[in-house]
């Protein structure tokens, strides 16, 4: 018994649904599907240069995109990218709309209820930034102030003091904000900061490469203090359709890419500083 | 039994429409009270009476545009009731002309006349068109065939409406105050058409205040008031020798 | 609107009104203080350094602006009606451009790249937006016809289902419906992709609004039309198809056109599902180099232009139906 709606993967999704109702995650279903279809469907938000974004030719590009392509290549299948909103990806229950997320997702306690994290592939530092005219000079100076960041991100969790990262380097909460302004699109925070110190927010927290990009683009902002924490960033798969074989394969490929320095060279390619030097974010500090 | 045999032998006299103690209410208001009436084939009936007397309601019950609650209405041998499946067959045999014409404004005059035969009776386009043109000639407006209703005068529209009904080749024609919405100078052209129709032998039931028409055409005049048939008679008797006081009062008003 | 045959003097040509207006405009310009803008610089030969000109500078700038503004109004008031409309349109548009220009934008960014950003938005996004809207309006129309008939019927089930449907889908925000269909339906085993989800949400939402439009259109056909058809022995379906709907269409088309224009803009909400339509591309293309406002303005212009074209088409269709009836 299966319902054919004429949409891709519907019957498989239905089978998978029956399985998940029975609470029996069957190894190999998703991976077999990828192999049979010769296509790895990769979800990644297109909002984040240099991680994943739409280039001038109208195609997906960036560090995450390259990593995703490499994973597909080593599986021996084609890569295909789709670009749902970040919130839709982190909500889980993908129902086989796509197979994996290669989108710089930090494994957390909460997310692990709906997602599996088979392999961490790099670490990025998260840092605070303020307007160049800001009177605030130390991280402690941001206590009680209005901090802006992306909604349902690890940065928001950090501000709330509820960051439950898995397998992460140790960190401490250095700032206790008075108000958290959480916006669906974190870019708006940067634009708000540009309006002036204290106009719409007193500061932001975001990933270092992101803030770096904004500064290079002429935004009147500056880093404040050292990075607040390093977050591990992982490939994610759907817990609703757990496939141990797929997870093992991803873990194997990422380990291989670490060993042959593919990840390092990709990091050096995409994460450049203003002075032209490159960053290797593939090891935790 | 004797009665029965008589009806079988005299099928010409068998009524085409018969009402037996028919009553109708609008909520608490009783619009028709125990109406008994028989109409024979080829008979011409004029129904008159003051406004609100129930005459329009009565005629609208005959093709079940309105429902009666008590009594029996039988039309062309079929009893009208709320569970009947073949009401459309009955209606196809009964033409109706309305006070406000009710032509289809998005169709030409010709299409108005062809609609019934072509869509409902399943007669093919050419034959329906021929029939429509013949009837438009009969009501003397064949030259308007390709115009839209709103381009016609009221009198012309009402004649189209008559032609439209006749295209279905009905056994009975109902007229519900056909001249009341017309400018005075157009009344006669519609009445002339109706007189011609009467002379051709059509069974007609007309609700109208045109007493001249009634005198000229009617076999029987029915006077209604407050939902009842107060008096019915031949035109001579009705106009010259009214029996009921309400009839007298009504005639005084309309004839003065 | 009905214009009376009696002509009154134009208010602008009455000295008292003109004086009052000037005072009010002066007050507004003074309050908003344009001294530190391009106008202040322009007047610097008179008032000196704008930043240090103080009260006198502020008053002088306001005064000049007021004279320009009122003189402009006065001049336009002498033109013929059509010219007036044209000039006011152009002036408002220039003001809008000035407003956008004041954001200090990098307009060249919109045309940068090969193909250009705006080219990408048109070649990829515009088609998707129009495709989604067009398919949705077709499905919504079909839903609306069925819904309207159900709402007008005596069948309890049909009425209940139709009224529940219109109530629910008019009562929920469209964005919520999009999420419910995209994320909720798969839980029931109905796996639908992003674009079908978006189309389903738009169709269902606008189908609900259009059900009411169609219902009103059908109801506004006089009862006599039903009675005449009934008296001729037409069955129900035939009456609806041949008599009622053809007459309702001219009444239904103008509000349906409005719905289509509204839907075109609401289709931007499906960008949350990662569909590469105009809004999605505007957000993401701008995100790469932090040129958000440039791309959002581009999207705004594309939507606006589309709407103007659709309004023109709609006016033409309306005229056609008016001639016929």
What structural domains does chain A harbor? 7-122+233-270 (3.40.190.10), 124-231 (3.40.190.10)
Interface check for B95 against chain C (CB to CB < 8 A): the answer is yes
- Give just the sign of the alpha carbon dihedral C105, C108, C114, C119: positive
β-sheet bridge partners, residue A236? A101
CB atoms C115 and A53 under 8 Å = no
Note the ipTM here: 0.89
Interface check for B164 against chain C (CB to CB < 8 A): the answer is yes
pLDDT at residue B113 tops 90: yes
* pLDDT above 70: percentage of residues in chain B: 95
Report the pLDDT averaged over residues A147-176: 91
Interface check for A128 against chain C (CB to CB < 8 A): the answer is no
CB atoms A7 and C192 under 8 Å = yes
Output the pLDDT for position C318.
Answer: 83
CB atoms A83 and C124 under 8 Å = no
Min Cα–Cα distance to chain C from A262, Å = 24
The residue out of C102, C134, C158 marking a domain boundary is: C102
Output the pLDDT for position A26.
Answer: 56
CB atoms B88 and C233 under 8 Å = yes
Domain co-membership, C55 together with C124? no
Domain co-membership, C36 together with C95? yes
Q: What is the DSSP string of C206-275?
A: HHHHHHHHHHHHHHTS-HHHHHHHHHTT--HHHIIIIIIHHHHHHHHHHHHHHHHHHHHHHGGGGGGGT-
CB atoms C274 and A53 under 8 Å = no
Instruction: Centre a 10 Å sphere on the Cβ of residue A218 and count the other Cβ atoms it contains.
Output: 10
Interface check for C98 against chain B (CB to CB < 8 A): the answer is no
For B2, the 3-state DSSP assignment is: helix
B/e letters for C301-324, b = 16+ CB within 10 Å, e = fewer, are ebbeebeeebeeebeeeeeeeeee
CB atoms C231 and B105 under 8 Å = no
Domain co-membership, C132 together with C162? yes
Residue A19 — pLDDT band, cuts 50, 70, 90? very low
Interface check for C238 against chain B (CB to CB < 8 A): the answer is yes
- Interface probe with C: pick from A58, A96, A114, A207, most Cβ of C within 10 Å: A58
β-sheet bridge partners, residue B78? B75
Chain C positions in Cβ-Cβ contact with residue B91 (cut-off 8 Å):
230-233
Domain co-membership, C146 together with C82? no
pLDDT at residue B79 tops 60: yes
Min Cα–Cα distance to chain C from A1, Å = 12
Output the pLDDT for position A238.
Answer: 93
The residue of chain C nearest to residue B66, with distances taken between CA atoms, is C227
Here the tokens at position C223 are 């009862």
Chain C positions in Cβ-Cβ contact with residue B66 (cut-off 8 Å):
none
Q: How far apart are CA A200 and CA A202, in angstroms?
A: 7
Here the tokens at position C86 are 């044209």
pLDDT at residue A23 tops 70: no
Interface check for A6 against chain C (CB to CB < 8 A): the answer is no
Domain co-membership, C77 together with C151? no
Tell me if C32 is assigned to some domain: yes
**Counting one residue from A and one from C, how many pairs have CB atoms under 8 Å apart?**
99
The residue out of C73, C102, C131 marking a domain boundary is: C102
CB atoms A88 and C113 under 8 Å = no
Tell me if C144 is assigned to some domain: yes
Domain co-membership, C40 together with C125? no
Interface check for C105 against chain A (CB to CB < 8 A): the answer is no
Eight-state DSSP code of residue A117: E
| C-alpha distances in Å from residue B201, one per residue of B47, B171, B172, C66 | 18, 10, 10, 86
Tell me if C111 is assigned to some domain: no
Report the pLDDT averaged over residues A183-203: 89
Min Cα–Cα distance to chain B from C206, Å = 28
pLDDT at residue B5 tops 80: no
For A250, the 3-state DSSP assignment is: helix
Residue A14 — pLDDT band, cuts 50, 70, 90? very low
Domain co-membership, C58 together with C122? no
* Neighbour-count burial of C47, counting CB atoms closer than 10 A to its CB (0-12 exposed, 13-18 middle, 19+ buried): buried
Q: What is the mean pLDDT of chain A?
A: 86
Min Cα–Cα distance to chain C from B184, Å = 23
Chain C positions in Cβ-Cβ contact with residue B119 (cut-off 8 Å):
234, 238, 242
CB atoms C284 and A53 under 8 Å = yes
Q: How far apart are CA C225 and CA A55, in angstroms?
A: 61
CB atoms B102 and C238 under 8 Å = no
Please give the span between the terminal C-alpha atoms of chain B, in angstroms, as a whole number: 50
CB atoms C238 and B120 under 8 Å = yes
Residues of chain C under the 50 pLDDT cut: none
Interface check for A194 against chain C (CB to CB < 8 A): the answer is no
- Interface probe with C: pick from A33, A62, A83, most Cβ of C within 10 Å: A83
The residue out of C59, C79, C102 marking a domain boundary is: C102
CB atoms C235 and B94 under 8 Å = no
Q: What is the pLDDT of residues C195-247, one digit of tens each?
A: 999 999 999 999 999 999 999 999 999 999 999 999 999 998 999 999 999 99
Domain co-membership, C152 together with C297? yes
Tell me if C6 is assigned to some domain: no
Domains contained in chain C, number = 2
Residue B172 — pLDDT band, cuts 50, 70, 90? very high
pLDDT at residue A187 tops 90: no
Min Cα–Cα distance to chain B from C228, Å = 6
Here the tokens at position B33 are 């009270």
Tell me if C163 is assigned to some domain: yes
Distance of CA A274 to the CA centre of its chain: 23
CB atoms B115 and C246 under 8 Å = no
Tell me if C87 is assigned to some domain: yes
Is residue B161 within 8 Å of residue B98, measured between CB atoms?
yes
Report the pLDDT averaged over residues A66-87: 93
Domain co-membership, C159 together with C263? yes
Domain co-membership, C275 together with C299? yes
CB atoms C191 and A54 under 8 Å = no
Min Cα–Cα distance to chain C from A255, Å = 30
Q: Kind and range of the H or E element at A146?
A: strand A146-150
**Counting one residue from B and one from C, how many pairs have CB atoms under 8 Å apart?**
60
Chain C positions in Cβ-Cβ contact with residue A213 (cut-off 8 Å):
290
Chain B positions in Cβ-Cβ contact with residue C244 (cut-off 8 Å):
none
Interface of A with C in 101-120 (CB under 8 A): none
CB atoms C192 and A93 under 8 Å = no
Tell me if C48 is assigned to some domain: yes
Instruction: Centre a 10 Å sphere on the Cβ of residue A265 and count the other Cβ atoms it contains.
Output: 15
CB atoms C186 and A93 under 8 Å = yes
CB atoms C193 and A53 under 8 Å = no
Tell me if C305 is assigned to some domain: yes
CATH number (domain holding residue C213): 1.10.3720.10
Min Cα–Cα distance to chain A from C279, Å = 13
Q: Measured between CB atoms, which of B95, B119, B161 is closest to C234?
A: B119
pLDDT at residue A11 tops 70: no
Interface check for C232 against chain B (CB to CB < 8 A): the answer is yes
Is residue A40 within 8 Å of residue A100, measured between CB atoms?
yes
Q: How far apart are CA B53 and CA B229, in angstroms?
A: 9
Domain co-membership, C226 together with C306? yes
Interface check for C230 against chain B (CB to CB < 8 A): the answer is yes
Interface check for C233 against chain B (CB to CB < 8 A): the answer is yes
Output the pLDDT for position A27.
Answer: 65
Interface check for C220 against chain B (CB to CB < 8 A): the answer is no
* Residue numbers of the domain that contains C246: 117-324
Output the pLDDT for position B14.
Answer: 77
Q: How far apart are CA C187 and CA A20, in angstroms?
A: 11
Chains in touch with B (3+ beta-carbon pairs under 8 Å) read C
Interface check for C173 against chain A (CB to CB < 8 A): the answer is no
Q: How far apart are CA C111 and CA C106, in angstroms?
A: 10
Interface check for A199 against chain C (CB to CB < 8 A): the answer is no
Q: What is the pLDDT of residues A239-284, one digit of tens each?
A: 988 899 999 999 999 999 999 999 999 999 998 877 778 888 887 6
* pLDDT above 90: percentage of residues in chain A: 58
Interface check for B147 against chain C (CB to CB < 8 A): the answer is no
Output the pLDDT for position C323.
Answer: 62
Domain co-membership, C96 together with C121? no
Q: What is the pLDDT of residues C72-94, one digit of tens each?
A: 999 998 888 899 999 999 999 99
CB atoms A17 and C123 under 8 Å = no
Q: How far apart are CA B166 and CA B175, in angstroms?
A: 12
Interface check for A204 against chain C (CB to CB < 8 A): the answer is no
Report the pLDDT averaged over residues A48-66: 90
């Amino acid at each position: 018994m299966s319902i054919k709606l004429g949409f891709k993967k519907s019957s498989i999704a239905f089978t998978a649904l029956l399985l998940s109702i029975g609470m029996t995650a069957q190894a190999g279903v998703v991976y077999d599907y990828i192999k049979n279809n010769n296509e790895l469907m990769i979800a990644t938000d297109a909002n984040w240069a240099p991680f994943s974004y739409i280039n001038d030719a109208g195609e997906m590009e960036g560090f995450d995109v390259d990593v995703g392509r490499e994973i597909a290549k080593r599986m021996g299948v084609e890569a295909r990218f789709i670009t749902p909103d970040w919130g839709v990806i982190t909500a889980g229950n993908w129902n086989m709309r796509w197979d994996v997320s290669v989108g710089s997702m930090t494994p957390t306690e909460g997310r692990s209820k709906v997602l599996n994290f088979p392999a961490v592939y790099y670490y990025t530092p998260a840092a605070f930034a303020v307007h160049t005219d800001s009177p605030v000079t130390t991280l402690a100076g941001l206590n009680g102030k209005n901090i802006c960041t992306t909604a349902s991100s690890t940065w928001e969790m950090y501000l709330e003091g509820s960051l439950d990262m898995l397998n992460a380097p140790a960190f401490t909460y250095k700032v206790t904000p008075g108000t958290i302004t959480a916006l669906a699109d974190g870019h708006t925070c940067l634009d708000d900061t540009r309006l002036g110190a204290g106009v719409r927010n007193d500061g932001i927290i975001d990933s270092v490469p992101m803030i770096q990009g904004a500064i290079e683009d002429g935004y009147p902002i500056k880093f404040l203090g050292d990075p607040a924490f390093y977050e591990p960033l992982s490939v994610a798969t759907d817990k609703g359709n757990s496939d141990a074989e797929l997870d093992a394969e991803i873990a194997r490929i990422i380990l291989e890419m670490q060993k042959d320095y593919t990840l390092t060279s990709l990091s050096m390619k995409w994460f450049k500083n203003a002075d032209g030097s490159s960053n290797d974010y593939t090891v935790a500090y | 039994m004797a009665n029965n045999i008589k009806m079988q032998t005299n099928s010409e006299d068998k009524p085409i429409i018969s009402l037996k103690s028919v009553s109708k209410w609008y909520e608490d208001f009783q619009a028709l009270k125990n109406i008994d009436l028989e109409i024979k084939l080829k008979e011409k009936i004029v129904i008159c009476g003051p406004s609100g007397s129930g005459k329009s309601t009565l005629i609208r019950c005959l093709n079940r545009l309105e429902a009666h609650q008590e009594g029996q209405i039988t039309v062309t041998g079929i009893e009208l009731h709320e569970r009947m499946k073949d009401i459309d067959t009955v209606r196809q045999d009964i033409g109706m002309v309305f006070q406000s014409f009710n032509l289809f404004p998005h169709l030409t005059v010709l299409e108005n006349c062809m609609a019934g035969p072509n869509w409902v009776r399943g007669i093919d386009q050419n034959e329906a068109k021929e029939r429509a043109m013949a009837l438009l000639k009969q009501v003397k407006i064949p030259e308007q065939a390709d115009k839209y209703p709103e381009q016609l005068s009221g009198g012309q529209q009402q004649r189209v409406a008559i032609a439209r009904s006749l295209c279905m080749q009905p056994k009975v024609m109902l007229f519900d105050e056909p001249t009341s919405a017309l400018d005075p100078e157009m009344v006669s052209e519609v009445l002339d058409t109706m007189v011609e129709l009467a002379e051709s032998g059509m069974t007609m039931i007309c609700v109208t205040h045109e007493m001249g028409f009634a005198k000229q055409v009617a076999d029987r005049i029915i006077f209604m008031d407050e939902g009842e048939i107060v008096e019915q008679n031949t035109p001579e008797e009705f106009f010259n020798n009214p029996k009921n006081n309400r009839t007298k009062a009504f005639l005084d008003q309309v004839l003065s | 609107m009905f214009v009376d045959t009696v002509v009154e003097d134009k208010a602008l040509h009455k000295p008292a009104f003109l004086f009052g207006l000037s005072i009010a405009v002066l007050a507004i310009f003074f309050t908003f203080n344009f001294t530190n803008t391009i106008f202040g610089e322009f007047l610097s030969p008179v008032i000196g350094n704008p930043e240090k000109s103080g009260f006198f500078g502020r008053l002088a700038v306001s005064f000049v602006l007021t004279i320009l503004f009122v003189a402009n109004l006065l001049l336009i008031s002498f033109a013929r009606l059509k010219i007036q409309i044209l000039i006011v349109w152009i002036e408002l548009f220039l003001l809008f451009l000035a407003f956008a220009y004041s954001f200090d934008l990098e307009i060249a960014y919109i045309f940068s790249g090969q193909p250009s950003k705006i080219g990408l938005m048109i070649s990829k996004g515009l088609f998707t937006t129009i495709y989604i809207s067009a398919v949705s309006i077709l499905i919504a129309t079909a839903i609306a016809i069925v819904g309207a008939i159900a709402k007008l019927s005596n069948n309890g089930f049909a009425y209940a289902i139709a009224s529940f449907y219109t109530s629910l889908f008019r009562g929920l925000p469209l964005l919520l419906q999009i999420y419910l269909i995209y994320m909720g339906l798969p839980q029931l085993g109905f796996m639908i992709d992003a674009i079908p989800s978006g189309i389903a949400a738009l169709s269902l939402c606008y189908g609900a609004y259009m059900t009411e439009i169609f219902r009103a259109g059908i109801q506004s056909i006089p009862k006599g039309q039903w009675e005449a058809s009934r008296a001729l022995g037409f069955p129900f379906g035939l009456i609806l198809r041949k008599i009622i709907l053809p007459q309702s269409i001219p009444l239904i088309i103008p509000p349906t056109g409005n719905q289509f224009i509204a839907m075109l803009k609401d289709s931007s909400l499906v960008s949350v599902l990662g569909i590469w339509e105009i809004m999605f591309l505007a957000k993401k293309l701008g995100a790469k180099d932090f040129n958000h406002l440039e791309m959002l303005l581009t999207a705004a212009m594309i939507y606006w232009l589309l709407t103007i074209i659709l309004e023109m088409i709609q006016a033409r269709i309306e005229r056609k139906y008016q001639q016929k009836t």
